[in-house]
């Protein structure tokens, strides 16, 4: 479950009246939430709030059974490493580390010892088991995205957040990326949030849902960034 009430965020250094206001959201565990709207309307900011990467200026949020205002610093980091899988727009794979080591880092971040068999199983589920010893620079764009998705779901997170997962992908690759996210979220019972300004994504989600899990669209608008 993701539940927000009166959520607002002002970037540090922004003018006092320059506040992003977000509509209230209540989504059941396992739902696919499509967060759409034009560039600059606040999609990436909303994901950062849900992941507890930034604290709201106003309002409350509960994510996967946790009130985020009850957690600080170390506890919040530990919660995020366990509960949230993040597929960022820029994948942020560590260039100096192999695929295997990049995934091991996610286990350390969650306070666990390296578990090579869990890494192998997760890479295999995403069809990239043979890439474990490669460096990120030796991966194609699609392979790198699969590796980043493997890293995101390694800890079986309750919530999987994907930021513009189809940006700069052709139609076929975009369909693959969305299909992979839906299948991965479903296999983990995770709530999936796809933030995108790509109009193709809505059309890609609906036919693949098969009525198995809930689907909820949420459209943010530029006017929700209020300037006074
Ligand atoms: P989206 O992901 O929908 O394109 P963002 O959440 O990235 O939108 O941005 C929402 C608004 O917040 C935009 O007006 C943007 O300019 C502003 N913004 C984003 N990041 C920062 C930042 N680090 N500092 C100040 N303003 C920011
Ligand atoms: Mg964005």
Q: pLDDT (tens digit, 0 to 9) for every residue of the chain, 228 residues total? A: 999 999 999 999 988 888 999 999 999 999 999 999 999 999 999 999 999 999 999 999 999 999 999 999 899 999 999 999 999 999 999 999 999 999 999 999 888 999 999 999 999 999 999 999 999 999 999 999 999 999 999 999 999 999 999 998 999 989 999 999 999 999 989 999 999 999 999 999 876 665 566 888 899 987 666 665
CATH number, span 2-91+156-224: 3.40.50.300
CA atoms within 13 A on the CB side of 206: 5
Nearest-CA residue for ligand 1 atom 18 is: 11
Protein residues whose CB sits closer than 6 Å to any atom of ligand 1: 11, 14, 20, 37, 39-45, 225
Nearest-CA residue for ligand 1 atom 24 is: 11
Please report the pLDDT score of residue 84 as a whole number: 97
CB-count exposure of residue 30 (10 Å: 0-12, 13-18, 19+): middle
Q: Where are the domains of the chain?
A: 2-91+156-224
Please report the pLDDT score of residue 215 as a whole number: 87
Q: Give CA–CA dist 33/6, Å, rounded.
A: 18
pTM recorded for the entire structure: 0.94
Where b means 16+ CB within 10 Å and e means fewer, 162-195 reads bbbbbeebeeeebbbbbebbbebbbebebbbbbb
- Protein residues within 5 Å, CB atom, of ion ligand 2: 43-44
User: Is 22:181 a contact under the CB 8 Å cutoff?
Assistant: no
Q: Give CA–CA dist 1/65, Å, rounded.
A: 7
Nearest-CA residue for ligand 1 atom 21 is: 11
* Residue to probe by mutation, ligand 1, list 35, 44, 47, 86, most atoms within 8 Å of CB: 44
CA 201–ligand 2 middle distance (angstroms): 15
């Amino acid at each position: 479950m993701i539940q927000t009430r009166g959520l607002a965020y002002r970037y540090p250094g922004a003018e006092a009246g320059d506040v992003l206001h977000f509509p209230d959201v209540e989504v059941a565990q396992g739902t696919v939430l499509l967060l759409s709207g034009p560039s600059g309307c606040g999609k990436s900011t909303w994901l950062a709030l849900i992941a507890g990467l930034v604290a709201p200026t106003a309002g409350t949020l509960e994510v996967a059974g946790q009130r985020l205002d009850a957690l600080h610093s170390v506890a919040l980091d530990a919660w995020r490493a366990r509960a949230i899988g993040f597929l960022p727009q820029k994948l942020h794979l560590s260039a100096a580390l192999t695929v295997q080591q990049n995934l091991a880092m996610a286990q350390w971040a969650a306070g666990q010892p390296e578990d090579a068999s869990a890494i192998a199983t997760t890479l295999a589920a995403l069809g990239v088991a043979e890439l474990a010893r490669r460096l990120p620079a030796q991966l194609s764009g699609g392979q790198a995205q699969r590796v980043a998705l493997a890293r995101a779901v390694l800890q079986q997170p309750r919530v999987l957040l994907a930021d513009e997962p189809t940006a700069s992908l052709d139609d076929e690759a975009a369909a693959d990326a969305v299909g992979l996210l839906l299948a991965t979220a479903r296999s983990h019972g995770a709530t999936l949030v796809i933030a995108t300004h790509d109009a193709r994504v809505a059309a890609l989600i609906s036919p693949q849902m098969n009525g198995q899990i809930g689907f909820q669209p949420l459209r943010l608008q530029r006017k929700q960034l209020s300037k006074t």
